[in-house]
Amino acid sequence: MEYGLDLEYSFNEFLKGFGLSSEIAHIIWLPLPMLLVLVAAVVGVLVTVWLERKISAAAQQRIGPEYAGALGVLQPIADGLKLLVKEDIIPAKADGILFTAGPILVLVPVILSWLIVPFGQNLLISNVGIGIFLWIALSSIQPIGLLMSGYASNNKYSLLGGLRAAAQSISYEIPLALSVLAIVLMTNSLSTVDIVNQQSGAGILSWNIWRQPVGFIVFWICALAECERLPFDLPEAEEELVAGYQTEYAGMKFALFYLGSYINLILSALLVSILYLGGWGFPIPVELIAKFLNLPINAPFIQVFTASIGIVMTVLKAYLLVFIAILLRWTTPRVRIDQLLDLGWKFLLPISLANLLITAGLKLAFPQFFGG
Amino acid sequence: MSIAITTQFICFTVLSLVVIIGALGVVLLESIVYSAFLLGGVFMSVAGLYLLLNASFVAAAQVLVYVGAVNVLIIFAIMLVNKKEDLKPINDIKSRRVISTSICLTLLSLLIRVDLTNVWSLSSPQNSIGEESTIRIGEHLFSDYLLPFEVASVLLLMAMIGAIVLARRDVMSKDISTGLPVDQELIEKASEPLLTNKN
């Protein structure tokens, strides 16, 4: 089933046509996907911010941004520009080096994790063998950045926010990893491309959400907690902690936190759609449609069509989940810290462990449905 | 020299420098918070070295366990007990420093000797397994390394139960450090929710 566009190969062949060696072509190719990821992530954030403003307005029966562009679509860009030109303040008693390094350490792992997000058979930066495990490892770096900025701000609210963020992140990482493990068990591979291909057999019926309903819910709750979204936004609970670890930040450094949290939200939504909702797969398999229309599956037209359908489906599923996350944010109250830790350690952890055990048992009992 | 080898060499040099300078910083810096953060940097660079050796699973596990768990917990503990007090000056600090330096140098010379005497070249350098290594590690963990693996898990379980017993003083009749009987009333007071008896 090796079909689909391979942009890197065609690009290299194109450059070789000008008489360049394959190594130089590779070096010219290298920055392009990185740039593409940055652009995609930032555009995704702009769209999400606009959605958040509009949906929250609708939830509260307001109009929301209206005058910046049609329906206020330029509002997020205005926000970003405002943050760009704001004065960059480092408090006098703060620790300058750690204060600057904190937001960077929060943002970089999140962007690096986009490495493994596939939009099609060959439409990802790198199909690394450890795939989804790379994301779990990278997301565990984030609490260090939060603790760093919380400590360096020299402010008790910041420190408390940082400590809460780290505690929350550590607690919810374990059920998250366990529910990913159940999927990996079914796929026999850590690679995200293999995970999606495993779900592509019978369209919507073969998606992992039907085989892993418990894992899906556990993963979604944990992903929301890792993103520090309401109902789990304790690290920046306004009424208690001003703004948590972000309290002392202004200008571009604050924007880094802001970007980081929204990129993380989109990334989590993308990963949920890859792990549980069939990734780039169309609800009806594309092979079936091609057969129905009597078209060969390897025709260039069909390949371009498949690739664009793949991108559209991935983004659509991810934004559906982002929509649910935004609705949750504006309709649910915040949990208390003890409720949060109770939920993580006493409910989600045992449930995800049992889910893993049952998945292993079902895999042995029904190898044709749960991956041989 | 091809571009790939040059890149690898540059990466190796940078990572090694970060490891050495970072480790020296961990030991020599006065501020314990800086030491803890530098330790995280050292762990990350070691993961980078694993990555250069084509051991991506080991690198990711290194990041997850050492950076994501060990280092975060160290920083967490430092920040929870972050008292702004000056350390007491120790009288025989000089002799202590001499002793610790000599011990470290002895260990270093031992490592250098191992480095020089061992035969490092693999029997078949072409036989690199690369991405397949994750599967091999799993196979080894469940066959010939099963006993060490299980012993390590039992050890971790014991450590966890020990930590819970230490943290929850109410399961014990007397204090561990002082040997005095535990004030049961205080424990019951603490375990009650604060808001229930307000009205």
B56: closest CA of chain A, how far (Å): 7
pLDDT at B194 over 60: no
pLDDT of A199 reads: 81
Write down the pLDDT at residue B181.
67
Average pLDDT score over residue span B78-94: 71
**Rounded distance between C-alpha atoms, residue A285 and residue A308, angstroms:** 14
**pLDDT of A1 over the 50 cut:** no
> CB–CB of A145/A103 below 8 Å?
yes
Task: Assess if residue A335 is contained within a domain.
Answer: yes
Instruction: Let me know if residue A15 belongs to a domain.
Output: no
Identify the pLDDT of residue A364: 86
Predicted pLDDT of residue A4: 46
- pLDDT of the residue at A5: 54
Contact A308, A209 (CB under 8 A): no
Q: What is the mean pLDDT of residues A254-276?
A: 89
In angstroms, the Cα distances linking A32 to A7, A9, A37, A356 are 11, 13, 9, 39
Mean pLDDT of A14-38: 76
CB of A344 closer than 8 Å to CB of A350: no
Cβ A63 vs Cβ A56: under 8 Å: no
User: What's the mean per-residue pLDDT of chain A?
Assistant: 82
Across the interface, whether the CB atoms of A144 and B67 are under 8 A apart is answered yes
Out of B4, B40, B134, the one facing A129 most closely (by C-beta) is B134
Under an 8 A CB cutoff, do A130 and B67 touch?
Answer: no
Range picked from A174-178, A310-314, B127-131 for highest mean pLDDT: A174-178
Calculate mean pLDDT across residues A32-48. Answer: 85
Q: Which residue has the higher pLDDT, B138 or B179?
A: B138
Are B76 and A147 inside 8 Å of each other by CB? yes
Say if A217 falls within a structural domain: yes
pLDDT of residue A3: 41
For testing contact with chain A, the best of B1, B31, B37, B128 (most A CBs within 10 A): B37
For residue range A207-261, what is the model confidence (pLDDT) as tens digits?
888 888 898 999 999 998 888 887 887 777 777 777 778 888 888 888 888 888 8
Q: Is A191 left (phi over 0), alpha (psi -120 to 50) or beta?
A: beta
Chain A window 165-204: which residues touch B at a Cβ cutoff of 8 Å? 166-167, 170, 173, 190
At residue B28, φ and ψ (nearest 5 deg) are -95, -20
Q: What are phi and psi of A68, to 5 degrees?
A: -85, 95
Residue A159, in any domain of the structure = yes
Residue A46 lies in a domain: no
User: Tokens standing for A212?
Assistant: 């892993």
Residues 69-108 of A with CB under 8 A from B: 98
Cβ contact B40–A144 (<8 Å): yes
Give B185's pLDDT tier (boundaries 50, 70, 90): low
For residue A89, the model assigns a pLDDT of 82
Report the C-alpha gap between A302 and A296 in whole angstroms. 8
Question: B47 and B62 in contact (C-beta within 8 Å)?
Answer: yes
Q: What is the mean pLDDT of residues A119-143?
A: 81
Q: Is residue A158 part of a domain?
A: yes
Identify whether A47 is part of a domain. Answer: no
What is the tally of structural domains in chain A? 1
The range of the structural domain enclosing residue A91 comes to 86-365
Q: Chain B: give the shortest CA distance to residue A282, in Å.
A: 29
In which band, very low, low, confident or very high, does the pLDDT at B107 lie, cut at 50, 70 and 90? very high
User: How far lies A47's CA from each of A41, A50, A74, in Å?
Assistant: 10, 5, 10
Mean pLDDT estimate for chain B: 80
CB pairs under 8 A between A and B: 74
Confirm if A276 and A105 have CB atoms less than 8 A apart. no
Q: By a Cβ cutoff of 8 Å, what residues of chain B touch chain A?
A: 2-4, 33, 37, 40, 44, 56-57, 60-61, 63-64, 67-69, 71-73, 75-76, 79-80, 82, 130-132, 134
Is A25 within a domain? no
Answer whether A165's CB lies under 8 Å from A338's CB: no
> What is d(CA A267, CA A55) in angstroms, rounded to the nearest whole number?
20
